[in-house]
Amino acid sequence: MSATAPEVALGEGGDEVTFREAFRQGVRDALQRDPLAFVIGEDVGRYGGCFGVTRGLLEEFGPERVRDAPLSEAGFTGAGIGAALGGMHPIVEVMTVNFALLALDQLVNNAATLLHMSGGQLPVPLVVRMTTGAGRQLAAQHSHSFEGWFAHVPGLRVVAPGTIEDARWMLWAALRDPDPVIIAENGSLYPMTGTLDPGAGPVDIDRAVVRRAGTDVSLITYGGSLPKTLAAAEMLAAEGISAEVLDLRSLRPLDEPAILGSVARTHRAVVVDEAWRSGSLAAEVSARIMEGAFYDLDAPVARVCSAEVPMPYAQHLEQAAVPQPERIADVAKGLVR
């Protein structure tokens, strides 16, 4: 199974690049700037990564810095944790978030707990990159959005880039963090293109960002749903509805002041989340709005999530199962009108 593309260019600021290239720039930059950083995972070396993000890095940095591992998520994630405890700065690549469940014990019972259980003596400066989300016809075992599961766990930090700049720069910020950081990269973004701002630099992974200002309704989302939500905001604008789009970026910790501030400006909220509705991150965001901004609301908080089914393989069913711009816009219109 592969979703690699033929491009290998790294691109520079101001160039048109794909998200895949922006992620690759981030990994390459980390390896250049930090001699303690290395990449480990299945097929990250000679094959160039299952989604092509690490292509060309083995030739540039060698097998000690770009390490192909056996097909054992628990094994190479555990190796990353051990290396982090030993003072290294590992970048672990897990093919998909579905397969990260095979490393759940390592991530939840070890990486997330060791600093606390050691009384602050054992930080785990680990970064785990994993592909998440649907839209690529890879069926139910490769297409789900479990990043909200990891965001439930104290001791883990979870971030979800949704722009070219965040794809390029989030890794370096994550690598500087003393806690284990999971970067949830939505696979539908990899082939998308954008212009990398030459003035962009390291991002604040603690803060949400307003990607579009508005006055009538807040559309709150992250990662792969961000382009769809921005498209929905354009549809709403054509009908005279001003939608603010808030990109969460960090799923743990959530930037609660930014969420509540957006709702205070617009008095309505739609939370867009590619995960299932039941027990979702969207549910957590909705609850925080109800707890912190109830008297600012002019309508109940609404959610747009994926259908409560294993992700279909058939393209038309897959597209019907996940949030789409038209559905987001329809839900927002229902709140405003």
Q: Quick one: pLDDT band at residue 15, thresholds 50, 70, 90?
A: confident
- Mean pLDDT for all residues in the chain: 94
pTM across the whole model:
0.93
- Of 21, 89, 93, 142, the active-site residue reads 142
pLDDT at 201: 84
pLDDT in tens, 279-326: 999 999 999 999 999 999 999 999 999 999 999 999 999 999 999 999
pLDDT in tens, 19-42: 999 999 999 999 999 999 999 999
Tell me: domain 16-195, CATH 3.40.50.970, correct? yes
**DSSP-based three-state secondary structure for 128:** strand
What are the sequence ranges of the domains in the chain?
16-195, 209-336
pLDDT in tens, 245-281: 999 999 999 999 999 999 999 999 999 999 999 999 9
Sequential DSSP letters for 219-245: EEE-TTHHHHHHHHHHHHHHTT--EEE
Asked whether the domain spanning 209-336 has the same topology as the one spanning 16-195, the reply is yes
CA neighbor of 254 nearest in space, from 328, 160, 191, 136 = 160
**Which residues neighbour 307 within 8 Å (Cβ) at sequence distance 6 or greater?**
276, 320, 321, 322
The arrangement of secondary structure in 209-336, i.e. its CATH architecture, is: 3-Layer(aba) Sandwich (3.40)
Pure H helices in the chain: 19-33, 57-61, 73-85, 97-100, 104, 114-117, 147-151, 164-176, 225-238, 256-266, 281-293, 315-321, 325-336
pLDDT in tens, 207-226: 999 999 999 999 999 999 99
The token pair at 240 is 């005279």
CA neighbor of 185 nearest in space, from 307, 269, 94 = 94
pLDDT in tens, 184-213: 999 999 999 999 988 888 899 999 999 999
pLDDT in tens, 64-105: 999 999 999 999 999 999 999 999 999 999 999 999 999 999
- Of 73, 93, 147, 185, the active-site residue reads 73
User: Alpha-carbon distance 214 to 204, whole Å?
Assistant: 23
Examine the residue annotation and report whether 142 is marked as an active-site residue of this protein.
Answer: yes
